[in-house]
């Protein structure tokens, strides 16, 4: 196959760069940025986002939370900017790859004849970033105005625990100034026709055990109750003590907050979200996220957050080899956000906003 000027192949059932939907081409461009740990090229992402802000004619703010760790915020001001805003959050980093297990280069964004785009971050979560951007682009082009302000936030370092990203930023005065009322962040694909929404998360506990002379091992608990966690820590303490006085342990992640976001019909944010989905004939499955995302930091400061990546009919491949997303699923997701964003931005003033 001959590569076209975009670096992609002209496959039989695939589309050339010329006939490809521009949102798909933008997605593939973003996937090619090597924002991969352990040394993500965040400068490339910042440059890309600058270009997007320029195209969307949105003001952009950059806050360097730690050296080299910048949070970018684009703001589409609503007609009533005093009301609480809507946050559309995504992280820019991706997890490493083992190239020997990939069918195609993980940063080439190869599209096969079925329209499946293979790349690290295609599900987690560069798709959602592009879907937010493209939905806003279309809404603006259609001449929409929103009542509530919408912020697009792009954060670094989610994949390494969020300390130099969202964990610190939620306590920054620039975060508080955003006056957020409701947040959307990442979810997971769903292999069925339904879409999964996440209203809570498991608490991550990452622990480094220093045990000179013998190897340690990590444990993963299926259940997540406070009692079990306490028991678990006692066990670690006991093991370390038994192993010797020089054996110590230190938590690299120990999240304790268990805030859940309301999915009651009486909740105005959930009602707006779920009604818009219903209008689009989407079936929603409510779940607790089986791992941890930046939503835990948003919920920990008392804000409601729903984890949602609109990828149905898609195997769950986050962090997996050969992660891919079909271009049609990507495009449908943009249409979904085109309805969801105005619905959320139209939630009438809440009692505490009057």
Annotated ligand binding at 321? The verdict is: no
CB of 124 to ligand AME, least distance (A): 6
HEC-encoded secondary structure of the chain: CCECCCCCECCCCCCCCCCCCHHHHHHHHHHCCCCECCCCCHHHHHHHHHHHHHHHCCCEEEEEEECCEEEEEEEECCCCCCCCEEEEEEECCECCCCHHHCCCCCCCCEECCCCEEECCCCCCCHHHHHHHHHHHHHHHHCCCCCCCCEEEEEECCHHHCCHHHHHHHCCCHHHHCCCEEEEEECCCCECCCCEEEEEEECCCEEEEEECCCCCCCCCCCCCCCHHHHHHHHHHHHHHHHHHCCCCEEEEEEECCCCCCCCCCCCCHHHHHHHHHHHHCCCCEEEEEECCCCCHHHHHHCCCCEEECCCCECCCCCCCCCCCEEEHHHHHHHHHHHHHHHHHHHCCCCCHHHC
CB 94 within 8 A of CB 36: yes
Annotated ligand binding at 101? The verdict is: no
203 forms part of the interface with ligand AME (CB under 6 A): no
Which one among 44, 204, 224, 331 touches ligand AME, defined by CB under 6 A? 204
CB of 275 to ligand AME, least distance (A): 27
Distances (CA, A) of 78 to 18, 197, 304, 334, 342: 35, 26, 20, 20, 10
Annotated ligand binding at 319? The verdict is: yes
Q: Could you say which of 20, 134, 157, 158 is catalytic?
A: 158
- 203 interacts with, out of Zn ion, ligand AME, none, CB within 5 to 8 A per kind: none
* 323 is a catalytic site residue: no
Q: Which is nearer to ligand AME, 206 or 239 (CB)?
A: 206
CB of 185 to Zn ion, least distance (A): 9
Interface characters, 237-256, with ligand AME (x: CB under 6 A): ----------------x---
Annotated ligand binding at 217? The verdict is: no
Count of beta carbons in the 10 Å neighbourhood of residue 218? 9
Q: From 46-54, 66-74, 81-89, 154-162, give the range in contact with ligand AME by CB under 6 A.
A: 154-162
Q: Which is nearer to Zn ion, 125 or 347 (CB)?
A: 125
Of residues 287-306, those binding ligand AME (CB under 6 A): 291-293
> Closest-CB residue for Zn ion?
124
- 291 interacts with, out of ligand AME, Zn ion, none, CB within 5 to 8 A per kind: ligand AME
Of residues 180-209, those binding Zn ion (CB under 5 A): 186
Q: How many residues form the binding site for ligand AME (CB under 6 A)? A: 11
Q: Which is nearer to Zn ion, 149 or 196 (CB)?
A: 196
Which one among 20, 124, 201, 327 touches Zn ion, defined by CB under 5 A? 124
- 113 interacts with, out of ligand AME, Zn ion, none, CB within 5 to 8 A per kind: none
Annotated ligand binding at 142? The verdict is: no
Binding-site ranges for ligand AME (CB under 6 A): 124, 158-159, 161, 204, 253, 291-293, 318-319
Binding-site ranges for Zn ion (CB under 5 A): 124-125, 186
User: Which residues are known to be catalytic?
Assistant: 93, 158
């Amino acid at each position: 196959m001959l590569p076209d000027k975009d670096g992609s192949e002209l496959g039989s059932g695939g589309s050339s760069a010329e006939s490809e939907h521009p949102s798909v081409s933008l997605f593939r461009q973003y996937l090619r940025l090597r924002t991969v740990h352990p040394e993500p090229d965040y400068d490339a992402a910042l440059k890309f986002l600058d270009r997007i802000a320029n195209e969307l004619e949105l003001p952009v703010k950059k806050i360097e939370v730690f050296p080299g760790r910048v949070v970018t915020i684009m703001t589409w001001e609503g007609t009533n900017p005093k009301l609480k805003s809507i946050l559309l959050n995504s992280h820019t980093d991706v997890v490493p790859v083992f190239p020997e297990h990939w069918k195609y280069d993980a940063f080439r964004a190869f599209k096969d004849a079925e329209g499946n785009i293979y790349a690290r971050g295609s599900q987690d979560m560069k798709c959602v970033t592009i879907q937010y951007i493209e939905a806003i682009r279309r809404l603006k082009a259609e001449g929409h105005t929103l009542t509530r302000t919408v912020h697009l936030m792009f954060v670094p370092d989610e994949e390494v625990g969020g300390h130099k990203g969202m964990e610190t930023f939620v306590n920054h005065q620039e975060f508080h100034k955003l006056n957020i009322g409701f947040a959307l962040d990442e979810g997971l694909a769903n292999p069925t026709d339904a879409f999964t929404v996440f209203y809570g998360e498991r608490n991550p506990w990452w622990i480094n055990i220093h045990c000179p002379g013998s190897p340690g091992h990590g444990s993963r608990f299926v259940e997540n109750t406070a009692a079990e966690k306490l028991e678990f820590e006692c066990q670690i303490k006991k093991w370390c003590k038994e192993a010797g006085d020089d054996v110590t342990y230190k938590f690299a992640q120990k999240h304790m907050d268990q805030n859940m976001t309301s999915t009651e019909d009486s909740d105005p944010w959930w009602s707006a979200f779920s009604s818009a989905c219903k209008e689009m004939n989407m079936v929603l499955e409510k779940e607790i996220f089986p791992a941890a995302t930046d939503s835990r930091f948003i919920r920990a400061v008392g804000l409601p957050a729903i984890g949602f990546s609109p990828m149905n009919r898609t195997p769950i491949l986050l962090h997996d080899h050969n992660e891919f997303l079909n271009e049609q699923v990507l495009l449908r997701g943009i249409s979904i956000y085109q309805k969801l964003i105005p619905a959320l931005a139209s939630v009438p003033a809440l009692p505490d906003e009057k």
